[in-house]
C-alpha cells in the first residue's frame, strides 16, 4: 500500500503518499488505542459524491470521545480533508480512511499528554467480499469468537482494538472454507459480522439484532430509511443462531460490503439458497441511492467537485 503515487492528509498537511509514515515508537502501534472510519465515494450520473460523510465523521468523534481522545481538528477540517483526498488523488470512486492515533512521545500505557494524530487516506476499493458476493451471496460461519462484551470494550466506538477479535473471526471462517463470519455476543445472541451488520428477513418483516454490542452502522441506518421507502417494516430483536438458519433471507450491510446477501449459514442453505427478493430490492435501492439516483436522499451525498 505504501508504494504508490498520490497524496495523504496527515495532521493538517498534505504529504506525498510514500512519505506518510510513522515512527516505531508510535503509541497506537503498541497498544491499539485509536479509532477510524471507512467511507465510500461513488461516481454517479451527476458526478462523484461521498456517501454520508458527516454521519461518518460524527461517529469518528463519538469513537474518540469513548476512548478519551480529543481530536485536534474540527468536523469541517476533516470534511474538507476527505473531499480533497478524493480530488487530489484523482479518484471519483473509492474508499476513505480517516484514522485517529496517538503519537510517539513515549511508551507506557498512560496516553496522557501524547499528541493526537489524524490522517486521511483515499484509495480505490473494489467489492469487499469478492466480485460475485453481491450477486450470488456469501457463505458464513457462526464464529467461535464472540463480539466483545460492552464492559470489556466500548462497542459503540469504531475503535482499532475491536478489530483483533474481528480479524480472528474472519480468518477462522476463511480457513474453514467460508466467506465470512457472524459473531454472537457473549450471551449467545447474534451480534454482527467482523466488519458488517446483519439483517434477517422473516415473513415479510426485516429483523436486526438490537444494537447493544454491534457497531451502530451507518449503512444499517440507511437501510432503515430505504426499507421504509419500500414499505417493509424493520424491527430490532434478540436473535439467535437458529434465527439465522431459519430466516427466509439474510444479508450483511456495511460501507465496505454494501448490501451482500448471505445464502448459507454453517453449511445450511438460507431460504432456497439464493439471494431473496427483499434483499435484492434493498440492494438495488441502496446502489441507486449512493449513485445519486434517489432525489429524496440527495442530502446524504457530498459532491466532490
Ligand atoms: N460492524 C463493524 C464491526 C464494522 O466494522 C462495520 C464497518 N464500519 C459495520 C458494522 C458497518 O458499519 P457502516 O455501515 O457504518 O460501515
Which atom of ligand 1 sits closest to the CA of residue 162? 3
DSSP letters spanning 90-157: T-SSEEEEEEEEE-SS--SS--TTPPEEEEEEEE----TT-TTHHHH-EEEEEEEEEPPPTTTS-TTS
DSSP letters spanning 153-178: S-TTS-BGGGHHHHHHHHHHHHHTT-
The reply to whether 158 belongs to the active site is yes
Question: Which of 153, 166, 195, 216 most suits a substitution to test ligand 1, by most atoms within 8 Å of the C-beta?
Answer: 195
For ligand 1, atom 7, the nearest C-alpha belongs to 195
Q: Are 226 and 172 in contact (CB under 8 A)?
A: no
Rounded distance, CA 282 to CA 229, Å? 10
Which atom of ligand 1 sits closest to the CA of residue 256? 16
Cα(36) to ligand 1 centroid in Å equals 11
Q: How far is CA 264 from the centre of its chain?
A: 22
Contact residues of ligand 1, CB 6 A cut-off: 38, 158, 166, 192, 195-197, 214-215, 217-220, 254-255
DSSP SS3 for 61:
helix
Can you read off the three cell numbers belonging to residue 150? 460492552
Q: What is the ipTM of this complex?
A: 0.99
Cα(105) to ligand 1 centroid in Å equals 31
Which atom of ligand 1 sits closest to the CA of residue 255? 16
Q: What is the pLDDT along the chain (305 residues), one digit of tens a residue?
A: 999 999 999 999 999 999 999 999 999 999 999 999 999 999 998 999 999 999 999 999 999 999 999 999 999 999 999 999 999 999 999 999 999 999 999 999 999 999 999 999 999 999 999 889 999 999 999 999 999 999 999 999 999 999 999 999 999 999 999 999 999 999 999 999 999 999 999 999 999 999 999 999 999 999 999 999 999 999 999 999 999 999 999 999 999 999 999 999 999 999 999 999 999 999 999 999 999 999 999 999 999 97
Domains of the chain: 7-123 (3.30.470.10), 133-290 (3.20.10.10)
Cα(113) to ligand 1 centroid in Å equals 30
Cα(177) to ligand 1 centroid in Å equals 23
Cα(255) to ligand 1 centroid in Å equals 7
For ligand 1, atom 9, the nearest C-alpha belongs to 196
Amino acid at each position: 500500500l505504501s508504494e504508490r503515487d498520490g497524496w495523504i492528509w496527515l495532521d493538517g498537511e498534505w504529504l506525498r503518499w510514500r512519505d506518510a509514515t510513522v515512527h516505531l515508537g508510535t503509541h497506537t502501534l503498541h497498544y491499539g488505542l485509536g479509532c477510524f472510519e471507512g467511507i465510500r465515494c461513488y461516481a454517479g450520473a451527476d458526478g462523484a459524491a461521498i456517501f454520508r460523510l458527516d454521519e461518518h465523521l460524527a461517529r469518528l468523534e463519538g469513537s474518540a470521545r469513548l476512548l478519551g481522545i480529543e481530536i485536534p481538528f474540527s468536523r469541517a477540517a476533516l470534511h474538507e480533508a476527505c473531499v480533497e483526498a478524493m480530488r487530489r488523488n484523482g479518484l471519483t470512486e473509492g474508499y476513505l480512511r480517516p484514522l485517529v492515533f496517538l503519537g510517539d512521545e513515549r511508551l507506557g500505557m498512560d496516553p496522557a499528554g501524547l499528541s493526537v494524530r489524524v490522517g486521511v487516506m483515499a484509495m480505490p476499493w473494489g467489492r469487499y467480499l469478492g466480485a460475485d458476493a453481491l450477486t450470488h451471496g456469501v457463505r458464513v460461519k457462526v464464529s467461535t469468537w464472540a463480539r466483545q462484551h460492552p464492559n470489556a470494550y466500548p462497542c459503540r466506538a469504531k475503535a482499532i482494538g475491536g478489530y483483533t477479535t474481528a480479524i480472528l473471526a474472519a480468518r477462522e471462517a476463511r480457513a474453514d472454507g467460508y466467506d465470512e463470519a457472524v459473531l454472537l455476543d457473549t450471551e449467545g445472541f447474534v451480534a454482527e459480522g467482523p466488519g458488517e451488520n446483519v439483517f434477517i428477513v422473516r415473513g415479510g418483516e426485516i429483523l436486526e439484532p438490537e444494537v447493544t454490542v454491534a457497531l451502530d452502522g451507518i449503512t444499517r441506518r440507511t437501510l432503515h430509511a430505504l426499507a421504509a421507502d419500500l414499505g417493509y417494516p424493520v424491527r430490532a430483536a434478540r436473535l439467535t443462531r437458529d434465527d439465522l438458519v431459519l430466516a427466509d433471507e439474510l444479508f450483511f450491510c456495511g460501507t465496505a460490503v454494501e448490501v451482500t446477501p448471505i445464502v448459507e449459514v454453517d453449511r445450511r442453505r438460507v431460504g432456497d439458497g439464493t439471494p431473496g427478493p427483499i434483499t435484492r430490492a434493498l440492494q438495488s435501492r441502496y446502489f441507486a441511492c449512493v449513485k445519486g439516483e434517489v432525489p429524496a436522499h440527495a442530502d446524504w451525498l457530498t459532491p466532490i467537485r
